[in-house]
């Protein structure tokens, strides 16, 4: 029997309306509605078009999917921390919510044989809430500075570098994924109700410096804005939340030693004067200027001239070192799958068969490159050789 709910879930996962899907598979929008609500089953030719569209097997639609027994309250739409440009995009938000739900259930499936170390970010969140509760009258900027410093020490960032920030966040308990999430979203984050912290990074137009800022910004949301209902905020309040996350990222990425680094700068309004500092901290020239201005290390006219120079030099598009500082990619889930595959606990083919999906679906869901799964599938194929032959006696 065709299961309409499986179609609904994967349609939303792919951010398609019923009308858009109908156009792709050559039926009416009403027909899609009927398939999803159990009033009609699609013909085989339509099922074949559906499987090609969603990178799954035809049998995917005749069995319950990963979300069949999900507690949908575990991942709630209102707790997704988005950029303000997309706060009112209901379709996009529903799609990303569905992606997290699929990811969460996928992780629970493959994690059944694994025990994680203690979640450092969960402890850090607890300490943050305790500090805020004990210091309600401290001004917000001072609160953010304290929490950023605490976070930096807790996850183990060195005093004078931001190297390995993504690795350290994953080690501390974050589950970080890459995904094509559009040009208007840099990244987003949320806590699940069972205390799993997710950070989803966009893949468009990224440099190492921008990626570091995205990571720090989302960590700010995870610590400062736990249980905030983002989709219930007006634009002004939402802008305040974003500004706080920006402030946290600046404090987190450019700690006290940054001020000493700026002490010897002569031409403070020249972006090229800060290239060595960018190389040290792996933070954009623009973020460096904002922090320097905030610290009073450059005057308003110098700050204004700095950004005029940024535009004139074309640094808005690409800054110096952007093509030289390597971009870190999430490795936690890849390492887990690698362990499971190497130990023979799972294989790529096992996963594809259990989930009734194509290999490309796994790449889209996890953000892990196609070659990773290709290599393991090739190793699964047994080749008969003459070395396996023996002579009769």
| CB neighbour class for 384 (10 Å; exposed up to 12, middle 13-18, buried from 19) | exposed
Does residue 130 surpass a pLDDT of 70? Answer: yes
Least confident of 7-11, 144-148, 181-185, 286-290: 181-185
Which of the following CATH numbers is that of domain 1-62: 1.10.260.40, 1.10.510.10, 3.40.640.10, 3.40.50.450? 1.10.260.40
349: Cβ contacts below 8 Å, ≥ 6 apart: 377, 380
Query: Considering the chain, what percentage of its residues have pLDDT values greater than 90?
Result: 80
Q: How far is CA 32 from the centre of its chain?
A: 31
pLDDT for 384 equals 46
Taking only the tens place, the pLDDT of each residue in 178-218 is: 998 877 778 999 999 999 999 999 987 679 999 999 999 99
> What is the rounded average pLDDT of the residues 63-76?
87
> What is the rounded average pLDDT of the residues 93-107?
92
Task: State the DSSP code for 345.
Answer: S
369: Cβ contacts below 8 Å, ≥ 6 apart: 363
Closest CA to 186 of 199, 195, 175: 199
> What is the rounded average pLDDT of the residues 307-327?
95
Are 191 and 221 spatial neighbours (Cβ–Cβ below 8 Å)?
no
Per DSSP, the residues of 37-95 read: TTS----HHHHHHHHHHHTB-GGGGGS--TTTT--GGGS-GGG-B--GGGTT-HHHHHH
The helix, strand and coil proportions of the chain, stated in percent and rounded to the nearest 5, come to 60, 5, 35
317: Cβ contacts below 8 Å, ≥ 6 apart: none
pLDDT category, 387, cuts 50, 70, 90?
Answer: very low
Beta bridge partners of 202: 179
pLDDT for 180 equals 86
pLDDT for 83 equals 59
Buried b (16+ CB within 10 A) or exposed e, 228-244: bebbebeeeebeebbeb
pLDDT for 232 equals 85
pLDDT for 392 equals 52
| CB neighbour class for 390 (10 Å; exposed up to 12, middle 13-18, buried from 19) | exposed
Q: Which helix (H) or strand (E) holds 162?
A: none
Alpha-carbon distance 356 to 361, whole Å?
10
Residue with more model confidence, 119 or 112: 119
Alpha-carbon distance 355 to 59, whole Å?
10
pLDDT for 383 equals 47
> What residues does each domain of the chain span?
1-62, 66-253+316-345, 347-393
Task: State the DSSP code for 271.
Answer: G
Taking only the tens place, the pLDDT of each residue in 362-386 is: 999 999 999 999 999 998 875 444 4
* Mean pLDDT, the chain, whole residue set: 92
pLDDT category, 153, cuts 50, 70, 90?
Answer: very high
What are the C-alpha distances in Å from 298 to residues 60, 157, 268, 288, 321?
A: 60, 27, 6, 11, 23
pLDDT for 90 equals 63
Closest CA to 326 of 261, 279, 274: 279
| CB neighbour class for 389 (10 Å; exposed up to 12, middle 13-18, buried from 19) | exposed
Alpha-carbon distance 165 to 158, whole Å?
10
pLDDT for 270 equals 97
């Amino acid at each position: 029997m065709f299961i309409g709910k499986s179609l609904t879930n994967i349609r939303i996962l792919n951010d398609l309306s019923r009308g858009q899907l109908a156009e792709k598979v050559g039926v009416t929008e009403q027909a899609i509605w009927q398939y999803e609500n159990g009033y009609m089953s699609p013909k085989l030719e339509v099922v074949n078009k559906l499987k090609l569209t969603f990178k799954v097997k035809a049998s995917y639609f005749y069995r319950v999917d990963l979300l069949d027994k999900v507690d949908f309250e575990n991942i709630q739409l209102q707790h997704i921390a988005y950029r303000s440009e997309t706060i009112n995009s209901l379709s996009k938000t529903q799609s990303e919510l569905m992606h997290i739900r699929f990811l969460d259930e996928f992780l629970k499936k493959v994690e059944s044989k694994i025990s994680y170390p203690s979640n450092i970010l969960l402890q850090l969140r607890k300490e943050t809430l305790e500090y805020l509760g004990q210091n309600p009258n401290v001004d917000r900027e001072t609160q953010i500075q304290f929490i950023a410093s605490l976070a930096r020490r807790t996850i183990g960032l060195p005093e004078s570098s931001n190297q390995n920030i993504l690795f350290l966040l994953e080690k501390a308990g974050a589950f970080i994924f890459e995904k094509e999430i559009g040009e208007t979203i840099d990244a987003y984050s949320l806590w699940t109700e069972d205390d799993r912290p997710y950070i989803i990074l966009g893949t468009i137009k990224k440099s190492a410096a921008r990626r570091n800022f995205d990571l720090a910004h989302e960590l700010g949301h995870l610590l400062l804005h736990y249980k905030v209902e983002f989709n219930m905020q007006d634009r002004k309040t939402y802008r305040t939340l974003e500004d706080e996350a920006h402030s946290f990222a600046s404090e987190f990425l450019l700690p006290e030693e940054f001020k000493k680094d700026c002490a010897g700068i002569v031409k403070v309004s020249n972006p090229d004067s800060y290239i060595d500092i960018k190389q040290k901290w792996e933070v954009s020239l623009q973020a460096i200027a904002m922090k320097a201005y905030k610290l009073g290390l450059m005057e308003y006219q110098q700050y204004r001239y700095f950004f005029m120079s940024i535009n004139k030099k074309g640094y808005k598009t690409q800054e110096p070192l952007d093509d030289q500082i390597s971009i870190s990619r999430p490795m936690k889930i890849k390492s887990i799958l690698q362990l499971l595959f190497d130990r023979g606990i799972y294989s790529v083919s096992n996963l594809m068969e259990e989930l009734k999906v194509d290999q490309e679906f796994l790449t889209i869901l996890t953000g892990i490159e196609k070659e990773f799964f290709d290599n393991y599938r090739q190793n699964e194929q047994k080749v008969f050789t003459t070395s396996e032959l023996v002579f009769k006696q």
